[in-house]
Amino acid sequence: MDRRRFLSFASTFSLGLAFGPPARAALTVDPDTTLAVADQSEFVRNLLEASGEAPKLGFKGSFPNFAGGPAILEAIRAGALDIAYVGDTPPIQARAAGTLLPIVGTFTRQVAQYHLISRPGLVIHKLAELKGKKLSYVEGSGRQVFLIEALNRAGVSLKDVELVNLRVADLPDAVRSGAVDVAVLTEPHVTRLVKQVGASPVLDPLERQILPSTSYFYARPEVLTDPQKAAAIGSFLGAFARAAKWANANKQAWAKHYYTDFQRLTPDDTAAVVAGESPLVLQTAAEAIPHHQKLIDILYQAGLLKERFDAKSFFVDTYDSIVSAER
């Protein structure tokens, strides 16, 4: 889909004209409709199941699991997925590569779920000590912009470090083996590496203030023009918003389900993970746009984008009324 067609589509769709008004009552889901939702770390599937929302979806959902945005982009380009749970950078990199994927849902945490973790035997006290180090680099992943902003905060440029291109799935082993000095990781890998091999979080307090942890659900544009799949997306986003609200209100039950029972962390490690998490917050398109523009600007100023995109053109607001009602 070329840029002109996408922007025209997004403008029309945001007004609810593609298949009718965006009110919840207008979204009638056919139970035979299928919706393939890309998951990561099986987070979405577990959240829907733990909260009791999974049986209420009203359609035939599948949640194939992926490791990182680049693999998801490949699958969605091939038409194997309808929507995808991704970090904050993949939609930008997809756009830069000519694939325009409208964002239909946003959720965020004030404190990032990404962590800078150093290999065993190396302790980093200040972000400025990243200079000259070998750092994991996953282009097209939310880890990419998190790392760049960490360097910006330290006054260190990309030219001052050695970037090691890796896949998301390879990051834990890269830290464990010392193939990189520092990697951008998420739980439960952070706790496991600290406990098992003596890896260390970067100790600078600024590391926890680099960026909020924002994630998106983006869609293949063709899916949004299919009335039944579009209705299923509305049902899914409503269920996800309710599930997030449940997790915020039932932190211990959610933690036991996901971190202790599914990820196999000990109860003590689970408690440590939960203590460092901030609540899940669902956002409308208008609320999400300023942060997305900041991410675009970080990548553009680093010389990684040829064009400074307008963040508004990434979003459709068709489902905002559902998110607002259910969050």
Task: Please give the pLDDT value at position 177.
Answer: 96
Do 74 and 93 sit in the same domain of this protein? yes
Do 293 and 322 sit in the same domain of this protein? yes
The total number of structural domains that make up the chain: 2
Separation between Cα atoms, residue 298 and residue 307, nearest integer Å: 12
Task: Write down which residue in 155, 188, 209 finishes a domain.
Answer: 209
Residue 21's alpha-carbon distances to 9, 207, 208, 321, in angstroms, are 15, 43, 41, 10
Kindly report, residue by residue over 170-205, the tens digit of the pLDDT. 999 999 999 999 999 988 899 999 999 999 999 999
Do 32 and 159 sit in the same domain of this protein? no
Average of per-residue pLDDT across 58-74 = 92
The set of residues, in sequence order, having a beta carbon less than 8 Å from that of 300 and lying 6+ positions away, is 307, 308
Instruction: Indicate the residue type of 45.
Output: R
Contact 35, 85 (CB under 8 A): no
The structure tokens 């325009």 sit at 100
Tell whether the model's pLDDT for residue 325 goes beyond 90: yes
CATH of the domain at 288: 3.40.190.10
Task: Please give the pLDDT value at position 15.
Answer: 36
Average of per-residue pLDDT across 209-222 = 94
Separation between Cα atoms, residue 141 and residue 88, nearest integer Å: 8
Task: Please give the pLDDT value at position 121.
Answer: 96
Task: Write down which residue in 209, 244, 264 finishes a domain.
Answer: 209
Do 63 and 192 sit in the same domain of this protein? no
Task: Please give the pLDDT value at position 27.
Answer: 53
Do 310 and 288 sit in the same domain of this protein? yes
Half-sphere exposure of 20 (CA within 13 A, CB side): 12
Average of per-residue pLDDT across 8-22 = 39
Task: Please give the pLDDT value at position 188.
Answer: 86
Tell whether the model's pLDDT for residue 8 goes beyond 50: no
3-class SS letters over 123-166: CCCCHHHHCCCEEEECCCCHHHHHHHHHHHHHCCCHHHCEEEEC
**Whole-number average pLDDT of the chain:** 90
Separation between Cα atoms, residue 301 and residue 297, nearest integer Å: 6
Q: By residue range, what is the domain housing residue 10?
A: 3-109+213-326
Do 82 and 104 sit in the same domain of this protein? yes
The structure tokens 């659900």 sit at 217
Tell whether the model's pLDDT for residue 224 goes beyond 80: yes
Instruction: Residue 137: name the closest of 166, 168, 176 by CA.
Output: 166
Separation between Cα atoms, residue 315 and residue 306, nearest integer Å: 20
Task: Please give the pLDDT value at position 69.
Answer: 83
For the chain, what percentages of helix, strand and coil (3-state, to nearest 5) are there? Answer: 50, 15, 35
| pLDDT tier for residue 18 given thresholds of 50, 70 and 90 | very low
Kindly report, residue by residue over 267-292, the tens digit of the pLDDT. 999 998 898 889 999 999 999 999 99
Separation between Cα atoms, residue 80 and residue 64, nearest integer Å: 10
Instruction: Indicate the residue type of 197.
Output: V
Average of per-residue pLDDT across 102-106 = 97
Do 185 and 250 sit in the same domain of this protein? no
Do 232 and 102 sit in the same domain of this protein? yes
Do 217 and 139 sit in the same domain of this protein? no
Kindly report, residue by residue over 122-177, the tens digit of the pLDDT. 999 999 999 999 999 988 788 999 999 999 999 999 999 999 999 988 999 999 99
Do 105 and 219 sit in the same domain of this protein? yes
The structure tokens 């990199």 sit at 93
| pLDDT tier for residue 20 given thresholds of 50, 70 and 90 | very low
Beta-bridge mates of residue 62:
36
Kindly report, residue by residue over 239-273, the tens digit of the pLDDT. 999 999 999 999 999 999 999 999 999 999 999 88
Do 230 and 318 sit in the same domain of this protein? yes
- What angle separates helix 189-197 from helix 267-275, to the nearest 10 degrees? 130
Task: Please give the pLDDT value at position 24.
Answer: 37
Do 59 and 187 sit in the same domain of this protein? no
The set of residues, in sequence order, having a beta carbon less than 8 Å from that of 238 and lying 6+ positions away, is 24, 322, 323, 325, 326
Task: Please give the pLDDT value at position 276.
Answer: 84
Task: Write down which residue in 209, 244, 261 finishes a domain.
Answer: 209
The structure tokens 């006290």 sit at 125
Separation between Cα atoms, residue 171 and residue 137, nearest integer Å: 9
